[in-house]
Amino acid sequence: MNPQTPDKPRIGITIGDLNGIGTEVVIKALADNRLLNFLTPVIYGSTRALSYYRKLMNIEDFNYSQVKTKGQFFPKTVNVVNCWEDVIEITPGQPSRQAGKAALLCLKKAVEEMKEGLIDAIVTAPIDKNTIHGEEFPYRGHTEFFTSEFNAGESLMLLTGANLRVGLVTGHVAVKDIASNITRDRVELKIRLLELSLKNDFNISKPKIAVLALNPHAGDEGLLGNEENEIIKPVISELKAKGKLIMGPFAADGFFASGQHTKYDGILAMYHDQGLVPFKTIDFSSGVNFTAGLPIVRTSPDHGTAYSIAGKNQADESSMRQAIYLACDIVKNRLEAKKAA
């Protein structure tokens, strides 16, 4: 963090897919000048794109300054780093390879400046995985990209809301491949990543974690599957024997329906939709996707490109705003955790 502004993290924000709602929600979130009291925003994108969407939405209160010298950001101002020079056609709601290329340029520039210590966290607006995918981006999403770029080995997709945090054992994996990816080592690793993140990133000294079952009714003692008895339960028992507050495995439907999720600091789901469907049902508008387990801080709103409403000034910026605030909080919590260590 910049020693001259220790209380104001420099938050890098990539604008994502030009034809989705990314630029719109970034502008709307940063149009609230109160954010500038807590952070220095640095948008990785294009002043042309920002100007286009500002005019399209008729937002007059959003102002920014172009960064002319690398790393020299203006305080109390929205800073913009231009990531390409070519004119790229913006067609809201219409996917294009050009937009995918632009999204990748934003990500690469933000990563470069993060590695150089010029920013303290990265917030990513949604990308289109189809248009960005290729030789330079052979990943299934942001999570895998950042895990690779920062040599983390493993990470944890962690959806966070006002009172709910849900991590995933498997993320962007086809349903037919889920069971084969549920192993003792993987479940234990994800529990440990979740516990460590709750301590260092969310300042919870003794986290209480719930682990969901893979099969319906938690396997019904083997009638509906053996993963609970052979994999998940043994891992939980071993960690509990070491003094960890790990409970489960819980049948996912009854767990959320009965309100048990409110009793835990973190919940570990076995696969993507098992965790994200209840999360987005409960806390969609303010939900944030955080990549735990990385040496850097990366957050994102919990929605996609939303092509169907792109360019119509209908997108809700609440999740983007919360992603920016959470990035600030985690930067500060990590600093406190380091001081306390």
Query: Does residue 5 register a pLDDT over 60?
Result: no
User: What percent of the chain is modeled with pLDDT above 70?
Assistant: 97
305 and 206 housed in the same domain: no
Q: Tell me the C-alpha distance between 227 and 224, whole Å.
A: 9
Are 147 and 1 within one domain? yes
Range of the domain at 146: 1-152+294-341
Three-state DSSP state, 14: strand
Q: What is the mean pLDDT of the chain?
A: 93
pLDDT of residue 298: 98
Examine the pLDDT at 47 and tell me if it is beyond 80.
yes
DSSP at 38: T
What domain count does the chain have? 2
CATH number of the domain that 182 lies in?
3.40.718.10
Q: What is the mean pLDDT of residues 266-275?
A: 96
What's the CA gap between 81 and 121, in Å, rounded? 15
The pLDDT of residue 283? 81
38 and 86 inside one domain: yes
Q: Are residues 179 and 283 in the same domain?
A: yes
Give tens-digit pLDDT for 130-174.
999 999 999 988 999 999 999 998 899 999 998 899 999 998 889
Is residue 114 domain-shared with residue 9, that is, in the same domain? yes
Long-range contacts, 215-220 (Cβ 8 Å, 24+): 216/251, 216/253, 217/251, 218/249, 218/250, 218/251
Distance CA 119, CA 67 (A): 13
Residues 161, 233 share a domain: yes
Are both 103 and 210 inside the same structural domain?
Answer: no
pLDDT reported for residue 219: 66
**119 within 8 A of 72, measured Cβ to Cβ:** no
C-alpha 36/C-alpha 64 separation (Å) is 12
Sequence-separated (6 or more) residues with CB below 8 Å from residue 159: 165, 166, 167, 275, 276, 279, 287, 288, 289, 290, 302
For residues 298 and 282, state if they share a domain. Answer: no
Q: Is the pTM of this model over 0.85?
A: yes
Asked whether residue 143 falls in the same domain as residue 254, the answer is no
- Residue 3 above 60 pLDDT? no
Same domain, 173 and 130: no
Structure tokens at 88: 């790229």
With H, G, I as helix, E, B as strand and everything else as coil, classify residue 121. Answer: strand
- What percent of the chain is modeled with pLDDT above 90? 83
For the segment 255-274, the average pLDDT, to the nearest whole number, is: 94
What mean pLDDT comes out for the span 55-77? Answer: 93
303 shares its domain with 227 = no
- Residues 206-233 have a mean pLDDT of 88
Q: Give mean pLDDT, residues 300-308.
A: 95
How many whole angstroms separate alpha carbon 320 and alpha carbon 327?
11
185 and 247 part of one domain: yes
Q: What is the number of other CB atoms lying within 10 angstroms of the CB of residue 284?
A: 15
Q: Where in the chain does DSSP place strands (E)?
A: 10-14, 40-45, 65-66, 79-82, 121-124, 156-160, 165-168, 208-212, 245-250, 266-269, 288-292, 298-301
Residue 2 has pLDDT above 70, yes or no: no
Which pLDDT score, from 0 to 100, does residue 163 have?
A: 83
Per-residue pLDDT at 4 exceeds 70: no
pLDDT, one tens digit per residue, over 182-208 is 999 999 999 999 999 999 999 999 999
Q: How far is CA 308 from CA 20, 91, 125, in A?
A: 9, 12, 16
- Backbone phi and psi for residue 268, each to the nearest 5 degrees, phi listed first: -110, 115
6-40 pLDDT, tens per residue?
579 999 999 999 999 999 999 999 998 899 999 99
